[in-house]
Structure 1
């Protein structure tokens, strides 16, 4: 049995993950269907193309089964679609808890403001760019973790397809558009993607030039999400001890700083022209 097949069976469940009860329930269902079909673990694993140990991990809820695993298991065990029915739930469960929580907030937001000073903001990243970032982490992340984090970040892009569309404002430091993280091909595709996203009517994209003598973003990145009920949540690593804030006074400070950065940055039209110029040089 190849290691590649084993690794592709699923993802390890994080300790204390709130999805654990559901994952365990699906594991018990897999076991029930296998036993009802009269198959031993080794026989079932061989039919699937996975190792016996991996099947046992899934059945006891220690590993999140991939959608492909559930598809194949449903067919082999003649489960009548009962295993396939949990594919979407298992896909969501594999994302890290912090990403699921962030996505839940983004799914509710009617307005988002994001200033990024180190790399391209997560919602704007192509899968290739995101993967390159995770592969650069030190200590190095395991390949399975890189894949999981990349898929989780890509899944958040549903915010661009929502109806009614939220108002999205992004400001990127010039250096984030010039540093070829992942290589020049990855950067080219990333810049082309930015130009495509900037064409959406609900999206505003601006560039903060490096040569500005005044800059309100010295505290680092800023993120503010506003919701339909009038509440909001914001974050800035360089302020409020790095913790998320929802107090009106604290939010006002973040909005003030963001507004000043937006005024100091290139206009949206100038920003698109700047990105097009960078593409011509690649």
Structure 2
């Protein structure tokens, strides 16, 4: 049997690689669970590879070629699919984010990347790496703004963000930058494009004090949760872990201000920042 052709790296290689994996698996008469057992991974992991929500790593690609008899096809092409404009620890999450139908995110220290303005994103990227060349900062900012283009679609994905009051009070890039950043978030909420809640200081101790949470749902793949720390990141597909973090997020929304009250607070803080800038 003639094997599949190598993928064209310019034409959504991850999606094409996932489609070829599905075809090769079905030709072997294997379910996702059965293939997962042969690879020592879960069936949901295989589903995420096929849906393009998880990046194929070389070791998995090598095992796929052995199990499916694809003569090195997946190992050769996973290198093209692995190319990314994002930092290595975040690349898989960014790629999954672009495929998600719903995103729920809690941000304890900063405005989430999908909601950032160019000036705010630049201030964040520069703070992360104060000695980086300006060209590198430009590249990081462009990548962050390109991610936000998923919000150009009027309905999908559904983005529900819980912002900690600390992220709104932390003056990032100066007061003018903060005024613009908060107006931008408020505008997206006013237009009904995103749901935003603020978790106020007065809420006290809460369920997500350990850090940020990003939950992602997909049309044709199991949900994921993403954990991030300084220079590190991890995608998790374990159903029990995803359920636990979803419950954590539900507790946060119960403690946070209602969307309309949150919007009023965002607009008031933006006005305060703008006023203080001109004093």
Corresponding residue for residue 217 of structure 1: 208
Corresponding residue for residue 249 of structure 2: 258
When residues 166 and 138 of structure 1 are mapped into structure 2, their CA distance, relative to the original with a 3 A threshold, is closer
**Partners of 1:129 and 1:213 in 2: CA distance:** 27
**Partners of 1:155 and 1:174 in 2: CA distance:** 26
**Partners of 2:111 and 2:136 in 1: CA distance:** 20
Corresponding residue for residue 122 of structure 1: 113
**Partners of 1:93 and 1:236 in 2: CA distance:** 19
Q: How far is the alpha carbon of 1:127 from its aligned partner?
A: 0.7
- Cα deviation digits, residues 163-200 of structure 1 (max 9, x gap): 65221100001011122111111111101101111124
**Partners of 1:163 and 1:190 in 2: CA distance:** 20
**Partners of 2:89 and 2:201 in 1: CA distance:** 32
Q: Which runs of 5+ in 1 are unaligned?
A: 1-17, 23-91
Larger C-alpha radius of gyration, 1 or 2?
A: 1
Corresponding residue for residue 141 of structure 2: 150
- Cα deviation digits, residues 129-180 of structure 1 (max 9, x gap): 0101111224522211111100000000121123652211000010111221
* Superposition map of 1:1-282 within 5 A: 94-96=85-87, 101-138=92-129, 140-162=131-153, 165-237=156-228, 243-282=234-273
**Partners of 1:277 and 1:158 in 2: CA distance:** 27
**Partners of 1:248 and 1:234 in 2: CA distance:** 10
**Partners of 2:249 and 2:268 in 1: CA distance:** 25
Given that 1:219 and 1:237 are in contact with CA atoms closer than 8 Å, whether structure 2 keeps it comes out as no
Q: How far is the alpha carbon of 1:257 from its aligned partner?
A: 0.3
Given that 2:179 and 2:271 are in contact with CA atoms closer than 8 Å, whether structure 1 keeps it comes out as no
TM-score, L = length of structure 1: 0.62
TM-score, L = length of structure 2: 0.63
**Partners of 2:88 and 2:153 in 1: CA distance:** 22
